[in-house]
Structure 1
Amino acid sequence: MRYLVLGAGALGGLFGGKLVKGGADVAFLVRPARASQLARDGLVVRSQDGEIRAAVKTLQQGEIDGPYDVVLLCCKAYDLAGAMEAIAPAVGPDTAIVPLLNGVRHIDALAGRFGAPRVLGGLTAINAALMPDGAIQQSALRIDMTAVGELDGQKSRRCLAIQQALAAGGIKADLSDNILAQMWVKFFGFACLATVASLTRARAGVVARSPGGAAFVSAVIEECTRVVTAEGFPPPPDTAGLMRGVYSQPESTYAPSMLIDMEGGKPTEAEHTIGDLVERAQRRGVAAPILAAALCNLQAYEISRHTARA
């Protein structure tokens, strides 16, 4: 199977690098600057299981040479429109698109553009960052949660082939017969962590040491639980405990991607994740004042970020 990985940043680089390590036929669709960097230095992935250094094939927009069997979509949610335009030449009748984005709203967008049969559900909680030297660094926090599945819950040979290719490179991925429900569990966790982080602007250990930290984290969890339950996807009973656990270690330096983006002065996925939950809460008549506050905070951050750049 031929794999096209959109981007060679933190997530695309890590997953693509693992596929390359496992022997898969992989090309990376990247921007010119990243293509030059990869041509010069190769792809470097510092994972928890060792370092990967490999020369990789790169393509730029307009250079796609026909349909690919699998398109791995690892962009940020705010780049989805541009990403769909970029991958369009690679999508043929039998192409499987595997999105590893935060949230769930992208599924409808992808199905509307390319047709539901070409879209798989996917999720991961692997945490990594693109370093200034171009290497991808996986965080020390080990969360082995990656899954892929057909949106209709059927078992398929293409999902099995993708699972095997990932396993060959060292990523354990589950084949899910209810991938949408799993994506909602991940979305719930992401929303809890991102809401706490965006309102406190603090790493997990700082929140854990704060006198009001535990109560605030619990309030966020309870509110997010009400919203996702109203949407028909109540989180499993143990999920709340996992979220509390993240913010119970006083020395932890963990930060969700939302906070890392804010610390770096980068755009965030606010509207596509927390904003999506706020809209859903309004439609369902569910009070969500903490989520609304987090969204307002993130919107103010974006305004300030643009003002500073002007």
Structure 2
Amino acid sequence: MKICIFGSGAIGAFMGVRLHQAGAEVSLVARGAHLAAMRERGVRLLAQDEDTVVRPRCTDNAAELGPQDYVIIALKAHSVPAAVPSIQPLLGPDTAVVTAVNGIPYWYFHKTGGAFEGRRLETIDPGGAQWDGFGPERAIGCVVYPATEVVEPGVIQHIYGDKFPLGEPDGSTSARVSALSEAMAAGGLRAPVLERIRDEIWLKLWGNLCFNPISALTHATLEVICADPGTRAVAKAMMLEAQAIAERIGVRFRVDVERRINGAGAVGAHKTSMLQDLERGRPMEIDALLSVVQEMGRLVGVATPSIDVVLALVRQRGEVAGLYTRPHPAAAEPTPAVAAQ
């Protein structure tokens, strides 16, 4: 089994180590000092009671690798459209593209049936770069739950979690998704194949779409956001708007909003990824977590007043910091709110 992980930062390299340990032929696409260290010394994984070094093939040029059985995209979501041409050499006739990214994936309305079948989402896939470049038929959904960090070039710290739920857009248990699930399990990862992968995508997004931007605006940790009555109320309002949108397109939430907020607060003094990116001067992942929810709200006729306000603020925060560029104007500019139905 040939697997290329395109975007081998903290999560990608962690997956690469585990799949390499399972016996897969793994290659990692990365760049900079991190790539140089992995080439020279291998990939070092630090975890509880574990200090492991593996030596998969590492490169910054995917064209060296040839067609793969699976390409796991582990980039930040906003980086994927521009990377599509670089990923093309990895795609053979039967290559699956596994979207291990945050937020709503480009293939979301593939095989959904109904009024929005085949709909493209401009805020996350400008001009249909991924839809046309990969094809939605290649896609396998993947929700990323573990927390990892690059503590120094070539060295990954595994903080917690081992779950990567997988799912076909049509809900089937295909041979290709089953084989990937088995390979990940052999490497010690939990990768259940879900019939309703979109439910899982929204469950994670439900918290990310509010806690990430609120933390970037306030610099507060999760426990502070969830304990303070004001910011908790803002988060809840955003989540209820998102829930109305998701349920309009068939999503089922297995927990209620209060339980989801309490679960986030229980994580403690944790800085969200968006706040970490802001503090470290890295591009902020706004569109896949928030702009796309606004876009989908307009699509299904659900007003998003709380999301609109927070999105406007965090976009400006990102622009002022030089860490965010708005998507295509047609998808980025506000339109009059419609009454929720």
> Which range, TM-score by smaller chain?
0.7 to 0.9
Question: Which deviates the most, 203-212 or 96-105?
Answer: 203-212
**2:157 alignment counterpart:** 137
**2:88 alignment counterpart:** 88
Counterpart contact for 2:226–2:262, Cα < 8 Å: no
Q: Which amino acid aligns with 1:254?
A: H
Whether 1:18 aligns to 2:36 is: no
Q: Which amino acid aligns with 1:241?
A: R
**2:27 alignment counterpart:** 27
**1:3 alignment counterpart:** 3
**1:222 alignment counterpart:** 240
* Secondary structure of 1:72 counterpart: strand
CA positional deviation for 1:137: 1.9
Unaligned runs of 5+ in 1: none
Whether 1:254 aligns to 2:270 is: yes
In structure 2, how many angstroms separate the alpha carbons of the residues matched to 1:208 and 1:232? 28
Cα shift readout 1:196-228 (whole Å, capped 9, x = no counterpart): 323432111222453534434433332322232
In structure 1, how many angstroms separate the alpha carbons of the residues matched to 2:190 and 2:257? 20
Whether 1:266 aligns to 2:293 is: no
CA positional deviation for 1:194: 2.0
In structure 2, how many angstroms separate the alpha carbons of the residues matched to 1:215 and 1:104? 24
Identify which of 237, 240, 255 aligns with 2:255. Answer: 237
CA positional deviation for 1:45: 2.0
In structure 1, how many angstroms separate the alpha carbons of the residues matched to 2:193 and 2:143? 11
TM-score when normalising by structure 1: 0.88
In structure 2, how many angstroms separate the alpha carbons of the residues matched to 1:253 and 1:119? 35
Among all aligned residue pairs of Structure 1 and Structure 2, give the percentage whose two residues are the same amino acid. Answer: 28
In structure 2, how many angstroms separate the alpha carbons of the residues matched to 1:239 and 1:212? 16
Counterpart contact for 1:73–1:100, Cα < 8 Å: yes
Question: What are the residue-to-residue correspondences of 1:147-226 with 2, within 5 Å?
Answer: 147-226=165-244
CA positional deviation for 1:167: 0.9
In structure 1, how many angstroms separate the alpha carbons of the residues matched to 2:185 and 2:27? 18
TM-score when normalising by structure 2: 0.80
Whether 1:275 aligns to 2:287 is: no
* Secondary structure of 1:175 counterpart: coil
Q: Which amino acid aligns with 2:157?
A: Q
In structure 1, how many angstroms separate the alpha carbons of the residues matched to 2:180 and 2:23? 12
Counterpart contact for 2:37–2:153, Cα < 8 Å: no
Counterpart contact for 1:193–1:243, Cα < 8 Å: no
Counterpart contact for 1:102–1:187, Cα < 8 Å: yes
Relative distance call for 1:294 and 1:128 in structure 2 (3 A) is: farther
Counterpart contact for 1:77–1:106, Cα < 8 Å: no
Relative distance call for 1:48 and 1:279 in structure 2 (3 A) is: farther
* Secondary structure of 2:283 counterpart: coil
CA positional deviation for 1:61: 2.0
CA positional deviation for 1:20: 1.3
In structure 1, how many angstroms separate the alpha carbons of the residues matched to 2:266 and 2:26? 40
Unaligned runs of 5+ in 2: 108-119, 121-127, 324-341
Whether 1:65 aligns to 2:59 is: no
Cα RMSD of the aligned pairs, angstroms, is: 2.4
**1:293 alignment counterpart:** 309
Cα shift readout 1:69-128 (whole Å, capped 9, x = no counterpart): 111110011111232211110100011111111122422553432223321122121122
Cα shift readout 1:215-243 (whole Å, capped 9, x = no counterpart): 34433332322232234324223464133
